[in-house]
């Protein structure tokens, strides 16, 4: 609780003079003798230690004019009859209704009883006493006036308390809305000045983390200042030339209390969690007990507001700052982008999105600490290379956003920036980074989110082109994006309507010269009979997660079809089913495979799951655990598209795979003198690891002969059969039995 240090107060109704303050008494009467007699009777009187100050009027208009200029009159001795028999009563009504002076005490005086019936006047008019002038001897007048002033003082204190509490509530409401300690400190001065009714001349002093109980006052700084004290803003407390000000703030902070002194007021605001700050203002008045009590409440309230402001500042930092890189995050970037879009020179802005290629694989191979170091190095490079006017933010794990002038955020600038290796943990690392750029003069963004969506379209286009590529937003890209969205919608409807089908391609054992297995391939025929290429819709399904339910259906259908082939006279055929990366990440993948096996009745040895090399390299430990569990069930595993992804021989050796599939891109270029040697190396490597080899894309006799010569185990391709529906496959199998 904040204490106030001041001289001990006597009883409020003391006899000592209260210098500089007086009670204003207005005598309103059209008889000059009444003015003279009353003033003489009360000339030396002091009530509650204060002298009286007499104001004199002789008409209703004059009375109302004086009260308009002197609203703090305590008592009015009002004659009933002046210009008219009821002039006094009409003045009472206007004082209360028009001037809104509800605190002033009104004593109605009349020359003789009956001029204004006492009961009627007291009942219908807001007066506080009714006296005939003959009753008001000096003794009676002093008693009446003392009683009236006591009543006025009590009402004034109640009103001051009410107004003071209103000001405290108002101040706390305004202060609690501040979002930073700087703005809060400036607001404290204004609120204190408004509360005390003085000019805002003062300073607010706080340590960098005002909540901590700092003992080194060199850490305290002036966070807010007003008036003549502005010259001290942002200075350390120990550097202030004004020794009196420095001493007052230091005493308040040291004693953790409010100081009321002759040359100023120094308030201490304690936080709920310790610590605090001090504010000094020029104030020359001696506060009464009510002022002191209200000051204590004010200090406690503003101290709690400071707790809230500090908490809001920390929450805002968490909400709008990236904790790893200490730069703006997505929320902060969108907010800043929205503000920039409202400026007159917004058309000269460009937005770029940067994405590190294969960052997840890098984290898996070298550890998250290495990935974090690379992110820090990239953020530092961006800050060092780009103008300070450019906004740099981290939007996602390895995604950065840049906003600046077109000349600063250009492809040539960013290519140079990204062309040099980054220092990472004592080594040099040169990652490939894809960049999507959108210029505001090339699009019509409705808001920040719309512009960011355009930039994402450009980035997606860059990533589709390959590693380390750049792409610029264009309307064509937007149309392609809308086309993909429509295709995804149609794919979802086709899957739900059961219009996806499976086609099967035989896999031939070269040594036995017979069918060893079949590969299940997903197909989609549109309502108009046209086929959608798997390369168009499968990536969409994988990207949106739709591939998980589609993959479950493919697995269950392929196993059921293989069981039907066995019942049709072809038992023992192995079925290969592609498992996408998103499927492979599912925690219950192994259980789903078990369920499909139970439903089909197939032996696990008849099922082989094809996993892409890049999919197997994602979350390596988890991938290896699932692969070992599947092999433990007896299910075969094939590494698909070997040699086209992020290869690691160390991890390949740890994988319990049964087959290695050579991608068709190697088969199609066997006429290149180096290609057969590469394929031979793959076949040799697989043999050493205990895996069989399947070559995809065999389309002619030359390719087939080459694979035989290199010792390949199995092949598949158009030379033998194109992918076909189950019924056509059965016909083919019977023809080649």
Please give the model's pTM, rounded to 2 decimal places.
0.49
Q: Is the pLDDT of residue 380 over 70?
A: yes
What's the confidence (pLDDT) of residue 645?
Answer: 57
Q: Is the pLDDT of residue 173 over 50?
A: yes
* Domain-wise residue ranges, the chain: 23-160, 177-320, 330-473, 502-735
For residue range 332-358, list pLDDT tens digits in order. 899 889 888 887 577 788 999 999 999
- The CATH architecture assigned to 177-320 reads 2-Layer Sandwich (3.30)
For residue range 178-192, list pLDDT tens digits in order. 445 566 666 676 767
d(CA 539, CA 533): 11
Q: Is the pLDDT of residue 563 over 90?
A: yes
Q: What is the CA radius of gyration of the chain?
A: 45
For residue range 36-49, list pLDDT tens digits in order. 988 988 988 999 88
What's the confidence (pLDDT) of residue 318?
Answer: 64
* Averaged pLDDT, 382-407: 94
* Alpha-carbon distance values, 82 to 87, 88, 97, 107 (Å): 6, 7, 20, 15
Q: Is the pLDDT of residue 432 over 90?
A: yes
* Averaged pLDDT, 414-418: 95
DSSP output for 290-346: HHHHHHHHHHHHHHHHHHHHHHHHHHHHHHHB-TTT-SB-HHHHHHHHHHHTTSTTG
What's the confidence (pLDDT) of residue 232?
Answer: 84
SS3 call for 610: strand
Confidence class for position 9, pLDDT limits 50, 70, 90? very low
Using alpha carbons, select from 654, 641, 717, 720 the residue that is nearest to residue 682.
641
* Averaged pLDDT, 633-638: 95
* Averaged pLDDT, 491-498: 92
Confidence class for position 2, pLDDT limits 50, 70, 90? very low
d(CA 712, CA 86): 124
Give the angle subtended at the CA of 105 by the CAs of 136 and 149, to the nearest 5°: 75
Q: Selecting from 3.40.50.2300, 3.30.70.270, 3.40.50.720, 3.30.365.10, what CATH number does the domain 330-473 have? A: 3.30.70.270
Beta bridge partners of 636: 608
Distance between terminal CA atoms of the chain? 96
Confidence class for position 218, pLDDT limits 50, 70, 90? low
Beta bridge partners of 594: none
d(CA 5, CA 465): 75
Q: Where are the beta strands (DSSP E) in 613-701?
A: 636-642, 659-662, 692-695
Q: Is the pLDDT of residue 569 over 60?
A: yes
For residue range 54-82, list pLDDT tens digits in order. 999 999 999 999 999 998 999 999 998 88
Q: Where are the beta strands (DSSP E) in 360-414?
A: 391-394, 399-405
Q: Which fold has domain 502-735?
A: TIM Barrel (3.20.20)
What's the confidence (pLDDT) of residue 284?
Answer: 67
Q: Selecting from 3.30.420.40, 3.40.1390.10, 2.60.40.1180, 3.40.50.2300, what CATH number does the domain 23-160 have? A: 3.40.50.2300
Q: Is the pLDDT of residue 308 over 70?
A: no
* Averaged pLDDT, 553-577: 95
């Amino acid at each position: 609780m904040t204490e106030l240090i001041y001289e001990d107060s006597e009883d409020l109704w003391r006899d000592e003079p209260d210098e500089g303050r007086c009670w204003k008494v207005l005598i309103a009467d059209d008889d000059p003798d009444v003015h003279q007699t009353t003033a003489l009777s009360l000339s030396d009187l002091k009530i509650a230690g204060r002298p009286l100050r007499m104001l004199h009027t002789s008409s209703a208009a004059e009375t109302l004019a004086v009260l308009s200029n002197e609203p703090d009159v305590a008592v009015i001795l009002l004659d009933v009859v002046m210009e008219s028999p009821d002039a006094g009563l009409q003045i009472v009504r206007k004082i209360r209704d028009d001037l809104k002076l509800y605190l002033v005490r009104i004593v109605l005086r009349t020359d003789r009883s009956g001029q204004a019936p006492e009961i009627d006047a007291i009942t219908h008019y807001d007066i506080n006493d009714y006296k005939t002038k003959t009753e008001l001897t000096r003794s009676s007048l002093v008693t009446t006036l003392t009683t009236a002033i006591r009543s006025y003082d009590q009402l004034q204190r109640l009103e001051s308390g009410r107004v003071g509490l209103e000001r405290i509530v108002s101040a706390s409401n305004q202060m609690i809305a501040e979002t930073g300690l700087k703005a809060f400190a400036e607001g404290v001065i204004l609120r204190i000045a408004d509360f005390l009714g003085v000019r805002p001349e003062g300073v607010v002093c706080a340590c960098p983390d005002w909540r901590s109980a700092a003992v080194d006052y060199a850490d305290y700084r002036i966070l807010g200042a007003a008036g003549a004290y502005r010259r001290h803003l942002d200075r350390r407390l120990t550097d202030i030339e004004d020794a009196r000000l420095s001493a007052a703030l230091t005493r308040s902070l040291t004693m953790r209390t409010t100081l009321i002194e002759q040359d100023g007021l120094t308030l201490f605001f304690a936080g709920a969690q310790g610590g605090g700050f001090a504010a000094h203002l020029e104030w020359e008045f001696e506060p009464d007990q009510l002022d002191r009590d209200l000051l204590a409440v004010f200090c406690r309230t503003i101290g709690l507001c400071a707790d809230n402001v500090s908490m809001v500042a920390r929450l805002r930092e968490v909400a709008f700052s990236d904790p790893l890189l200490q730069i703006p995050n997505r929320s902060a970037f969108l907010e800043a982008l929205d503000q920039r879009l409202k400026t007159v020179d917004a058309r000269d802005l460009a937005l770029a999105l940067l994405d590190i290629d294969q960052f997840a694989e890098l984290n898996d191979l070298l550890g998250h600490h290495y990935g974090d170091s690379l992110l820090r190095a990239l953020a530092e490079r961006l800050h060092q290379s780009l103008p300070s006017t450019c906004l740099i933010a981290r939007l996602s794990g390895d995604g950065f956003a840049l906003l600046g002038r077109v000349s600063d955020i250009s492809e040539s600038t960013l290519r140079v920036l990204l062309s040099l290796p980054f220092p990472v943990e004592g080594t040099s690392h040169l990652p490939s980074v894809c960049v999507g750029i959108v210029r505001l003069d090339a699009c019509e963004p409705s808001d920040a989110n719309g512009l960011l969506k355009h930039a994402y379209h450009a980035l997606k286009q860059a990533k589709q082109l390959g590693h380390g590529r750049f792409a610029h937003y264009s309307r064509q890209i937007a149309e392609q994006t809308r086309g993909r969205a429509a295709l995804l919608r149609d794919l979802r409807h086709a899957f739900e309507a059961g219009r996806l089908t499976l086609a099967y391609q035989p896999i031939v054992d070269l040594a036995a010269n017979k069918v060893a297995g079949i590969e299940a391939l997903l197909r989609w025929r549109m309502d108009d009979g046209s086929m959608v290429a798997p390369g168009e819709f499968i990536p969409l399904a994988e990207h949106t997660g739709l591939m998980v339910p589609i993959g479950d259906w493919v697995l269950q259908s392929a196993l059921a079809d293989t069981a039907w082939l066995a019942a049709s006279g072809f038992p023992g055929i192995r079925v290969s089913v592609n498992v996408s990366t998103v499927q492979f990440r599912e925690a219950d993948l192994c259980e789903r495979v078990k369920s499909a096996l139970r439903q089909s009745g197939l032996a696990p040895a008849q099922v082989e799951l094809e996993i892409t090399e890049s999919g197997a390299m994602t979350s390596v430990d988890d991938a290896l655990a699932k692969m070992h569990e599947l092999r433990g069930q007896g299910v075969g595993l094939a590494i698909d598209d070997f040699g086209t992804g992020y290869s690691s021989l160390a991890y390949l050796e740890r994988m319990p795979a049964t087959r290695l599939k050579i991608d068709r891109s190697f088969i199609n270029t066997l006429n290149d003198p180096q290609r057969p040697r590469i394929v031979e190396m793959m076949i040799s490597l697989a043999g050493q690891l205990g895996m069989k080899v399947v070559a995809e894309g065999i389309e002619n006799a030359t390719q087939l002969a080459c694979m035989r010569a290199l010792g390949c185990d199995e092949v598949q391709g158009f030379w033998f059969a194109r992918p076909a529906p189950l019924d056509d496959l059965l016909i083919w199998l019977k023809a080649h039995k």
